[in-house]
Structure 1
Amino acid sequence: MGAVQGVSPWSCHDASAIAMVNWNDPVLLLRNYQTFDKLTHVAGGIYIWEFVTHLDFDWHVLTGARKYRWTYLLYSGCRLSALFAVVTVFTGFDAQYRIKCQAWVVFTFILTYLAFVFASVLIVLRIMAIWECRRLVVIVAWVTWLANTAFYIHSVITARSTWFPEAGFCVILHSIRSRINIIATLVADLVLVTLMLFGLLRWQHAGQFRGVCRFLYNQGLIWIVVVTLAEVPSTVMIVMDLDDPWNLMFQVPELITMAIGATRIYRGLADYTSITELRTLPGNTQKP
């Protein structure tokens, strides 16, 4: 290990110091994978707690105590996909014996991206309602969503994994292949949020910026914060391309942050207003 021991890229004051680190050193690679493993378990544990503590919302919908809306299927899809993704990740990391890592990584990617897809659809439907189904905006929103989904599919197809005997778990190979997907996700979410906020500002200029409209605008601002906190760290690390564990380090926290943010925003709107209130807005025929 030699000079690499004790070196942390975050203690360096310039890029040249990072470049001096041998990121292919097996000992350093193992240590980084162990860090990745711990961070993943912390993030996954947070999401499991979040899932369990909000089961009352699901119970109220299923028992009829809360009005059922078809968008609840998207909400549930996001929650369950994220939960199954966490469980699948834990399976690969906590296996006590060699498993079929290629099958593991494919299921992990599918479940992870399903959670992102459901979260994005909720935003697209809200954009349609806010813009009163204006054709150009609807086309832009759905094309953005479809393009991002295509990148997800490509990422699943190209995903590769193998067993790492020194660490005792599956590792994802050639993580740099996900660079374009990570960047595309950030761009797509920013486009969708921008469309939503500009649509709400139209109501402000028309003197309709009150009640549920103001609430949706505040939710839009919150979603920008969620997208930034969740996706920027992953994007920065994949662009820097230090090594596979650092490229992947913040992707599980990204999933958790996005899933929690999307589902909490959905529950917040469900608690704030009813479908009848939304229909009082000019031209609005969409459910929240």
Structure 2
Amino acid sequence: MPDWNSPAELALEASAFAKLMHALAGLYFWEVATSFSFDWQFITGKKKFHWPLIFYFLGRYLLVFAMIGILTALDVTIEVNCQALYTFNQLVGQATIGLASINLAIRTMILWAQNLYIVVPLVLVILGHWSLILQGKPAPTCVLLKAEWVPGQGCVITKTNNTILAATFIYTMCFDLIVLVLTAAKLAFPRDQRSQLMNMLFRDGLIYFVIAFLSNLLATTFMELNLSAVMSIIFNVPSAIASTIVACRAVRRLSGWSSPGPEILYVCLWLSPLRQR
């Protein structure tokens, strides 16, 4: 087994991390570019904007800024404040994971017709989630990543707070599981006939949960292994990107959904009125 903290191994890890981040940035920028027409319809007013889209746009474009920040940290050739840059990247990246979970939770609230017995507990869970995410706020005792400028190498991650990072990812997995169970319960015991829309909501939610759960599990595993400062967080960004892409695609699918018959769900609170064929 290699010495993960030896200078030679750390150099290899840094190189692998940089290549992975560039590949992921290209993937995510491509995803945003190819689906920008959806966003443009709301920007230009062709589609009516509804408040739940706030979380869609925040998650989608905060991750763009996070990826730009990561690429800046990796490619900058002049000395910068690496600690401030990585604190920004970490906080914004964690926020995108929280926003992806919110998007899924709102869909579940829709399924339950905004039942307060469902909405209130979910809101409390969301607040708990963000209390962990905001542990990374820029204060000396709350910084989850430490980075410094090393001449000839650039910004280098020197230390990570794996306890809070792992707790955040585990909380995210539990949160997503709760939402999936609530969705499944609603569809398993419907008061009326299940609609095509309800089936689609569950199917998209299940796909999101599987992808997000596996990506979060991978990130948590490497954090708990704590092989080195770089290896501990190498899969955090893939997790954020996977969650955001799947959550945003689910939102766009719901917005573009059309039904052969009337639906009784409160979808108007989500994105746009249902289009009838």
TM-score by length of 2: 0.87
Task: Give me the whole-angstrom Cα distance separating, in 1, the residues matched to 2:152 and 2:160.
Answer: 18
Whether the 8 Å contact between 2:50 and 2:269 is mirrored in structure 1 is: no
Please list every run of at least 4 consecutive aligned residues from structure 1 whose deviation after the TM superposition is greater than 6 angstroms: none
Unpaired stretches in structure 2, ≥5 consecutive residues: 272-277
| Counterpart position of 1:196 | 183
| Counterpart position of 2:275 | none
Of 18, 23, 26, the residue aligned with 1:45 is 26
> Following TM superposition, by how much is the alpha carbon of 1:255 offset from its aligned partner in structure 2, in angstroms?
1.2
Of 236, 247, 251, the residue aligned with 1:262 is 247
Is 1:249 the counterpart of 2:230 in the alignment?
no
Report the secondary structure of 1:24's partner residue. coil
Unpaired stretches in structure 1, ≥5 consecutive residues: 1-17
| Counterpart position of 1:187 | 174
How many pairs were matched up? 264
> Following TM superposition, by how much is the alpha carbon of 1:58 offset from its aligned partner in structure 2, in angstroms?
1.3
> Following TM superposition, by how much is the alpha carbon of 1:237 offset from its aligned partner in structure 2, in angstroms?
0.9
Task: Give me the whole-angstrom Cα distance separating, in 1, the residues matched to 2:26 and 2:85.
Answer: 19
TM-score by length of 1: 0.84
* Residues 166 and 32 (structure 1), Cα distance of their counterparts in 2 relative to 1, 3 Å cut: farther
More helix by share: 1
Report the secondary structure of 2:46's partner residue. coil
Whether the 8 Å contact between 1:77 and 1:118 is mirrored in structure 2 is: yes
Task: Give me the whole-angstrom Cα distance separating, in 2, the residues matched to 1:260 and 1:85.
Answer: 14
Whether the 8 Å contact between 2:104 and 2:205 is mirrored in structure 1 is: no
| Counterpart position of 1:163 | 149
Q: Alignment RMSD, CA only?
A: 2.2
Of 263, 270, 277, the residue aligned with 1:287 is 270
Corresponding letter in the other structure for 1:183:
I
Task: Give me the whole-angstrom Cα distance separating, in 2, the residues matched to 1:171 and 1:165.
Answer: 14
Q: Deviations over 1:32-71 (max 9, x none)?
A: 1211111111111100111111111111222233333222
Identical columns (%): 25
Corresponding letter in the other structure for 1:240:
L
Of 207, 219, 225, the residue aligned with 1:240 is 225
Whether the 8 Å contact between 1:30 and 1:166 is mirrored in structure 2 is: no
